[in-house]
Amino acid sequence: MPVVNITRRLPVKTISADIDSLNGLGTVNNYLPVRSDAAPEALRTSFTTMQAMQQKETELQAMLKAAADAARQAEWDFHNGVLGMKEAVRAQFGPDSNEAQAIGYKKKSEYRRPRRMPKTAEAM
């Protein structure tokens, strides 16, 4: 007998077949289950519990998506505000100021000037 992995979700096809079986149980006369979890009342209870948990999962997924969207928007708002602040600091104090360096820019004077390449005989 194969090992059943209960950490994985059941396929939708399996759940649909189980629901059809439960609905078909109503037509069976003189059904006397040996196991208490296979009794019609217990099956109906577990069915309604499953539906409630699926609904709760769907609601939480929607809330998670909304929270993720709100967090993403807040991140972009913060990032755009920081970019505006950096532009304002560079405009107010200049690109070679200590203030520009304090917010993360490299001073303009600290960049190396490009050197000219000497012309060689091969390049001519």
What residues have CB less than 8 Å from 5, skipping those under 6 apart?
A: none
3-class DSSP state of 106 = coil
Query: What is the rounded CA–CA span in Å between residue 77 and residue 116?
Result: 43
Phi, psi of 64 (to 5 degrees): -65, -45
**Per-residue confidence band for 103, with pLDDT thresholds at 50, 70 and 90:** very high
Handedness of CA 103, 108, 113, 114 (dihedral sign): positive
**Per-residue confidence band for 116, with pLDDT thresholds at 50, 70 and 90:** confident
Q: Which of 80, 79, 99 minimizes the C-alpha distance to 89? A: 99
Q: What is the pLDDT of residue 122?
A: 63
pTM score over 0.75: no
Q: Which of 39, 50, 60, 45 minimizes the C-alpha distance to 12? A: 50
Read off the pLDDT of residues 59-98 as tens digits, 9 standing for 90 and up. Answer: 999 999 999 999 999 999 999 999 999 999 999 999 889 9
Q: What is the pLDDT of residue 63?
A: 98
Give the count of alpha carbons within 13 A of 41, CB side only.
2
Q: Which two tokens stand for residue 14?
A: 């399996």
Q: Which of 120, 99, 117 minimizes the C-alpha distance to 108? A: 99
Q: What is the pLDDT of residue 3?
A: 86
